[in-house]
Chains A and B, each alone.
Chain A
Amino acid sequence: MAPFYILLVEDNPDDLFLASRIIGKACQHELVTARDGEEADELLRRMEQDDSYRYIRLVLLDLKLPKISGLDLLRGIRDNVKLQGLPVAILTSSDNETDQEQCWQLGVVDYIYKPMTVDRLKGILSRIEGAQ
């Protein structure tokens, strides 16, 4: 079985630490991180070119990010022919209803209020695996 990745886009070091910890507990997937929107964007472009994006099992996306917002990243993914099918879950501490609605419309697999729990992540992953 080829190794799968989870791409975590998170700028806050504490949140990064907490999310990594949960991911480590919930699955065996490797973790790739991006520390802001721009970095995530560049990473996704590279992966699109060398087709390594196929190994991304889940993108965990914070909404409030430096440079490029999570919502714009999500739109970019959905507008990209190759990337548009990527499973994306939002990880946020905001309770902005408009954001949430827009994200659901852009086809996210989940919208998680921080902190994420192991069970929640396991649930998402099993849904993704079940769908494949």
Chain B
Amino acid sequence: MKDEVREGAGVSMLYVEDEADARQMVTRMLAMNYPNLIVYGADNGLQALELYRQYIPEIVMTDINMPVMDGIRMSREIKAINPEVRIIAVTAHSDTSYLLSAIEIGVHHYVLKPLNYQELFTVLDKVLEQMELKRLVSEQHRRLAQSERQLAAGQRIAHLGSWQREPDAEGMDWSDEMYRICGLEPGAVPASYHAFLERFHTDDRDDIAASMQSAQDPQHQPEHRFVRVVRPDGSYRIVRLDVEGVREGDHAAGVIGTCHDVTELKQAEQQVRSLTEELERRVLQRTSLLQATVSELENFSYFVSHDLRAPVARLEGFCTALLEDCGACGHANCRQYAERSANVVQQIKQIMDAFNSLTHLARCALTIRDTDMSRLARDIAHALSAEAPERRVEFVIAEGARVKGDPELLGKALRHLLENAWKFTSRTERGRIEFGWTDRHDVRTYFVRDNGVGFNMKYAQMLFKPFQTIHAPEEFGWTGTGIGLATAHSIVLRHGGRMWAEGEVGQGATFYFTLEPNPESGSYLKET
């Protein structure tokens, strides 16, 4: 026992003795040996009672024969006030008449007169020790009660019931929450093995019985299953049943388990599942719509590439025939008209090719790979500079634009954008073309910027439309069909991105685009 306890820390004692000298002496000895013990002194029973009422000390040490009120009467009164009080009787050998009364009251300790201090201290130590033990036991009780309360509240809040069964026994032990999950008041039915099985859906009972049986096997791994509890009102609860074997040394000591009411969770799962199914159905619907559109486009482009090609080829043939055979005609206009007709045929063919290449972009299969757009941009810039070494254009290309995409198509898009910038800086003294990115509203946005002729924002809508141009063909030595930006736009769309442009006349232009971080490979067309 700790010294502090021995010294009576936090404990108070009432000492009742009518002989003043003896009282003072003992009090002094107590103070020396139990420095932390608070001692209240009284010289008769009545005074002692008053003091007791005032301080409620845990220990009372009292003489028996006293004037006014004797020790026995006083003890009875004090016990009535506090049954827990510990009373030490200080008694002479001759005081035997009081003994029965003392035992009846609950005076369990005594020391003999004349007082032997050693004896007194032994008794007092024993009393203090008993008090400490009692305190410890009640503390344990309190803790146990608290943890039981917590467990019950925890089970209730978590909808987790628990149960236990001795090996192959009929009797069981169910927690309160176990009852509640089954739709019963705690204790409403005796917790037996058969009553347990009866709580569940008939189709699930065999599985549950098998689980409980196999859990007793020492090799058995803890397992769980989802089963249905049928409440008395006929409603179902879905519970997760966990079963584990309990072992004491080498032998099975039964099974223990939990029933977790997961009905709401399962309902939510079901809801998520049906929402997902609905979503998938819609995606399927949209996809088939998209596929229908794409196959229409397919048909249309087939028409252009086959049905239209044949008459155009004929026209070309006749133009050639005219040029070859009219050489001798001598009429100047004939030859000129034939030549111009042949040119027109070439234009028609170019437009058809351009159209086919655009429709191809819409339906071709993407091959998604890690793509370094910085490297692609650098290669294009080198090629452009090499083609026209006389031009002084500064290329500023940001490093590390690594994306997931179709490298061939992204290269094509970048080439159109950079060529566009290249073309429209041809009249700028110190041309500067930049490729880079910014993070706009948390979306990575790539751009190609030039300080060329720029454009009026009111024409911005026309930029990405095929065969439409803002600048007249002859203005910038334009030779194409006007599908460069439309092509770049289409490629960005195929990569789940967006493209737009900002510009000002004479101040250059910036083409921005975003890309889906994880584009899907393949095409919209059904695999056939």
Say yes or no for A115: interface residue by CB 8 A criterion: yes
Q: Which of B309-325 touch A at CB < 8 Å?
A: 309-310, 312-314, 316-318, 320-321
B313 touches A95 (CB 8 A): no
B314 touches A14 (CB 8 A): yes
B356: chain A residues at CB < 8 Å are: 95
A116: chain B residues at CB < 8 Å are: 317
The bracket for how many chain B residues form the interface is 10 to 19
> How many chain-A residues does the 8 Å CB contact rule pick out?
15
A94 touches B306 (CB 8 A): yes
Say yes or no for A21: interface residue by CB 8 A criterion: yes
Minimal beta-carbon separation of B341 from chain A (angstroms): 13
- Indicate the member of A12, A21, A93, A117 with the most B CB atoms within 10 Å: A93
Minimal beta-carbon separation of A96 from chain B (angstroms): 7
Say yes or no for A82: interface residue by CB 8 A criterion: no
Known: A18-B321, A21-B321. A115 touches B314 (CB 8 A): yes
Known: A21-B321, A115-B320, A117-B320. A94 touches B314 (CB 8 A): no
Minimal beta-carbon separation of A82 from chain B (angstroms): 32
B305 touches A115 (CB 8 A): no
Known: A94-B305, A94-B306, A95-B305. A114 touches B313 (CB 8 A): yes
Closest chain A residue to B317, Cβ basis: A115
A93 touches B320 (CB 8 A): no
- Indicate the member of B309, B314, B356 with the most A CB atoms within 10 Å: B314
Closest chain B residue to A113, Cβ basis: B313
Q: Would you list 25 pairs from A and B whose C-beta atoms are within 8 A, ordered by A residue?
A: A12-B310, A12-B314, A14-B314, A15-B313, A15-B317, A18-B314, A18-B317, A21-B321, A93-B309, A94-B305, A94-B306, A94-B309, A95-B356, A96-B305, A96-B306, A113-B313, A114-B310, A114-B313, A114-B314, A114-B316, A114-B317, A115-B313, A115-B314, A115-B316, A117-B320
B314 touches A15 (CB 8 A): yes
**How far, in whole Å, are A12 and B318 apart by their CA atoms in the complex?**
14
The list of the 9 closest CB pairs from A to B, nearest first, reads A115-B317, A114-B313, A18-B317, A93-B310, A93-B309, A93-B313, A14-B314, A94-B306, A115-B316
A: residues with CB less than 8 A from B are 12, 14-15, 18, 21, 64, 93-96, 113-117
Provide the B345-359 mask, 1 if CB < 8 A to any CB of A, else 0: 000000000001000
**How far, in whole Å, are A113 and B313 apart by their CA atoms in the complex?**
8
Known: A14-B314, A18-B314, A115-B314. A95 touches B320 (CB 8 A): no
A96: chain B residues at CB < 8 Å are: 305-306
Closest chain B residue to A114, Cβ basis: B313
A18: chain B residues at CB < 8 Å are: 314, 317-318, 321
B309: chain A residues at CB < 8 Å are: 93-95
A93 touches B306 (CB 8 A): yes
Further 12 A-B residue pairs, CB within 8 A, beyond A93-B310, A114-B316, A115-B314: A12-B314, A14-B314, A15-B317, A18-B321, A64-B310, A94-B305, A94-B306, A94-B309, A95-B305, A96-B306, A114-B317, A116-B317
Minimal beta-carbon separation of B38 from chain A (angstroms): 108
Minimal beta-carbon separation of A87 from chain B (angstroms): 23
B321: chain A residues at CB < 8 Å are: 18, 21
B316: chain A residues at CB < 8 Å are: 114-115
- Indicate the member of A14, A15, A95, A115 with the most B CB atoms within 10 Å: A115
Closest chain A residue to B352, Cβ basis: A95
A64: chain B residues at CB < 8 Å are: 306, 310
A117: chain B residues at CB < 8 Å are: 320
A12: chain B residues at CB < 8 Å are: 310, 314
